[in-house]
Every structure is written in structure tokens, then in C-alpha cells.
Amino acid sequence: MPALYRARVMHLRVLPKRTRTHQFRYSVFRLWLDIDDVSETLGRLRTVGHNRFNLYGFYDHDHGPRDGKSLRDWADGLFAGVGVARPSKIMLYCFPRMLGFEFNPLAMYCGYDAAGRLTGVIYQVRNTDGDLSPYVVNLVRDGLRHAAEKDFYVSPFIDGEQRYSFTLTAPSKHFGLRIRVDGQDGLTMIATETAEAEALSDRALLRLALLRPFMTVKIIAGIYFEAVRLRLKGAKFYKHPGNGGLYTDRPDGQHSRGVGKSSMRAKEVRETP
């Protein structure tokens, strides 16, 4: 059912020469919405506007293909590409707009079968250049521990020769995600997010607005602030590769080309050893 998740995010980076680290933590909150029932769910709330301005907002074109097409059709197509049967329900874990501002560096689409079993997940990654790319996982085949080769530009301080290892705790009252990034020299970064659910209500949203005012703006500002700190600590800068942030071409010619389009990549993943 729809919910709010209050979360704690941690990033740990290993710096050049592997003698120093860079770490930061911050608190956020996210929406947990059934993508087939967004209008009805948000229609019961006074603080959230669906495709209209409010204290909080959910705009359809902020998510999925970002081109006005059906979010459900987009997700179904990606799941089908990795062998996941059409989910009975797809829940979206994302940041809301706050006072019109929106940025989701990572949004998750969790697919469930009719028995309530989590069968697939889409990790939709966005960088600050506006490029988008989804990593799609068949959880029935690969399990909650899975991996993918990095082929999308996210940080200017991490090169493309990296591998992601994901450890996902199926969302319930509690939720957890751990992403380990390894390169040719070993560990590059560890990112974690741990969250706890509560009822989605106007009262809860107003309380969070007081506790986390301008959260979206702070996330964006924080990215650039931490980038300056990394640069001052000697982190190497890597240029954007072009090609909508993708390091390699896909055989079907589909690419991300900035805001409004998705790479539509259904990448095969294997369970992490």
C-alpha cells in the first residue's frame, strides 16, 4: 500500500592512492506509490499535487520515459526484456517535487506478482546532466544480491571501468539497499540507504516539510558541495562521454539523449558471488 519512507543515505568513497576516504550522510524521505493508482492516492491528499503545483508534487513526466508515455507500459517493457512476467503491481520509490523542484538521482520500480512476491526491480539512474538510464533486474532468477557492469556516467569522479554489486532488502516496514562499486584497483565506493515506512498522510508530509525544508534543493546543492570537496582532496575528474551518458552503444541503437528520454536498456545481471 502507499506509504512514506524516512531514509538515511550514506556514501563512502576511496580516494586516489587509496590512503584516504571521503564519507557523508544525510536524511531524506521518499514516496512509495502504486503506479497504477497514483491519481486516486494523491487525490486524497491536500499537500500533494498530481501534475499541478502544490507544497509537494508528482508529475508523470518526471518519471519513467519522461516523454508523456504510459509509465506502466514503459516498466512492463523493461521487465519483459529480462524475462520478468508482467507484474500485477508496480510500486515506485522516489522523491516528490518540493515547491516545484524535482531531482531523483535514483528511483526504484519494484514489480510484484499476484501472490505479492517481489519479482523484478528497475533502478532508474539520473545524473546532473539530465541523462537517464535504467538497470533492470529479474529477481526471481538473480535474487536480492545481483550485479551489473557500469555503463552510464553518474559522477565525474568515477571512471567507466566499474562494476555495481547490489544488496536489496525487499521493501516492507523497513527497506534497505547497499551498492558496492568496484574498479580495477578494488573498492571504489559504497552507498547505502536504510528506510522505515509510515502512513502517507497530510500530517506526516507537513511534519517532514518542517524537518526537511527544501529537501530537493539541498540534494542538488549537496551533490555539488561534495564534488568540490572531492576535487580538493585530489579526486581525478572524468569528462562526460557524450552519447547521453552511455559509455557504450547498444546494438538496438537506443540511447539516452538528455532530459525526456531513456536509454531503455534492459541489462542482464548475474548474482554477486
Q: What is the 3-state secondary structure (H, E, C) of the chain?
A: CCEEEEEEEEEEEECHHHCCEEEEEEEEEEEEEECCCHHHHHHCCCCEEECCCCCEEECHHHCCCCCCCCHHHHHHHHHHHCCCCCCCEEEEEECCEECCECCCCEEEEEEECCCCCEEEEEEEEECCCCCEEEEEEEHHHHCCEEEEECCECCCCCCCCCCEEEEEEECCCCEEEEEEEEEECCEEEEEEEEEEEEECCCHHHHHHHHHHCCCHHHHHHHHHHHHHHHHHHCCCCCCCCCCHHHECCCCCCCCCCCCCCCCCCCCCCCECCC
Predicted confidence (pLDDT) per residue in 186-221, tens digit: 999 999 999 999 999 999 999 999 999 889 998 999
Residue 249 pLDDT: 60
Report the percent of the chain where pLDDT is more than 70: 91
Whether 233 has a pLDDT exceeding 80, the answer reads yes
Residue 67 pLDDT: 84
Q: What is the pTM of this model?
A: 0.89
Q: In the beta sheet, which residues pair with residue 168?
A: 177
Whether 257 has a pLDDT exceeding 70, the answer reads no
Question: Per this entry, what is the length of the chain?
Answer: 273
Give the confidence band of 251 by pLDDT, cuts at 50, 70, 90: very low
Predicted confidence (pLDDT) per residue in 215-224, tens digit: 999 899 999 9
For residue 104, which amino acid is it?
N
Give the whole-angstrom CA distance, residue 5 versus residue 93: 9
Predicted confidence (pLDDT) per residue in 111-132, tens digit: 999 999 999 999 999 999 999 9
Q: Span 174-196, mean pLDDT?
A: 96
Least-confidence region, from 19-23, 176-180, 206-210: 19-23
Give the confidence band of 174 by pLDDT, cuts at 50, 70, 90: very high
- Cell output for 191: 552507498
Give the whole-angstrom CA distance, residue 214 versus residue 233: 28
pLDDT, averaged across the chain? 89
Residue 17 pLDDT: 75
Give the whole-angstrom CA distance, residue 15 versus residue 126: 23
Kindly give, in sequence order, each residue whose CB lies less than 8 Å from that of residue 73, ignoring residues fewer than 6 positions away: none
Whether 94 has a pLDDT exceeding 90, the answer reads yes
**How many CB atoms neighbour CB 80 within 10 A?**
14
- Cell output for 72: 506502466
Whether 261 has a pLDDT exceeding 50, the answer reads no
Q: Span 6-34, mean pLDDT?
A: 92
